[in-house]
Structure 1
Amino acid sequence: MRKPSDKKDRLERFVRDNREAFDSFEPSDDLWGRIEEQFGEAPKTNKVKRLKWWGKAYLDWRIAAGIVMAVGMSYVYYLNNQYGVTRDPKVALVVPTYAREFNQYSLAIDEKRNELVRLTSDNPELYKEFSGDLDRLERNYQNLKSELPKAPNQEALIQAMIQNLQWQLDLLNQQLTILQRIKEADKSHEKDNSTII
């Protein structure tokens, strides 16, 4: 089976070997002149709009857009480093002082959820029961978050959101403790059955 790189190598080899033959077919120097005479001057469609910039100097609009984008990305990078915006940027932009706290709770909740999924992989009914309670808390959190930008008392709403995240974390910790006790009980039950036999 031929590789795509084989075709490329063969084409490059062919061009290299027959370069002199290709060079003999170059257009004459006056060809562009004859084309212009026949069609007239071509309309200039690729105009570059320039912005006035401090007097006589001009700035291409693409450069200006690049500068604006670079400044914006720098600001987001600063927010991320300063406040930990990566997990919940909507909340961080409204109240950046709490962004790090929201980020820490979100990371801990994600970690505990993953552990819960891992421990309940052999018992999907138990996971469904556990995740139902957690999903209700998560829906309440999302409702609070959607109300945040238009809330008259954002501080109270933020405290409610933090309390919700704490409840989610506490619930996950309790569920993981229950799962660990179930696993320990199963191990001791298996050990007792093996010693009786």
Structure 2
Amino acid sequence: MQQNDLEKFILDNKDAFDDARPSLKLWAAIEKDLNGEEEQPSGQLRVSRPWYQIAATVLILLTVGGAGGAYLNQQTQQPTAQEMIEEVAPEFSEMEQYYNQRIQENYARLTTYTQDPEIDADLKQLDNAMVELREDLANAPTGQEEMIVQQLIDSYRLKLQILERILERIENLDNSITTPDNNSNETSI
């Protein structure tokens, strides 16, 4: 209801609102602003930048932007370690899968016999060395990639050999304890 009362008041007093006009001084100031003329306070000079300063600023901004873009483009185009491995040794992923499967099987067999923290620490060191080799591969100089991939494969082999040797010794020790001597099976007459 109040809004209707407001609308009625405005409509009834429309003539009183329409007679207000801006002063000529205000129109003159608006016209100067539109024409680009600025009224300067006394004692101040308008400082304008020469075109070459603006051009130099734009040139610097473009150069910095271009260099930043080139850097980011270079960072995104560097191949990852896995891409480099596949390029150098396409059969690596199959070998890695084979070694990981064998390592997991042997480690599972080993855990049925013993839980030795020294063995786990040694295996962890090999894992860390393989992570470092992958990082080195991403930053390797041209021609060194094959050598690093071979070192990575050798690390998998070494890890598997360590597990196999430990299992062999444990199983041989276990068999010698459970198997009696052949001499004790003989009976004398």
* Bigger Cα Rg: 2
Q: TM-score range by the shorter chain?
A: 0.3 to 0.5
* TM-score, with length taken from structure 2: 0.44
Question: Which structure has more RCO (C-alpha within 8 Å, separation ≥ 6)?
Answer: 2
TM, length-normalised to structure 1? 0.43
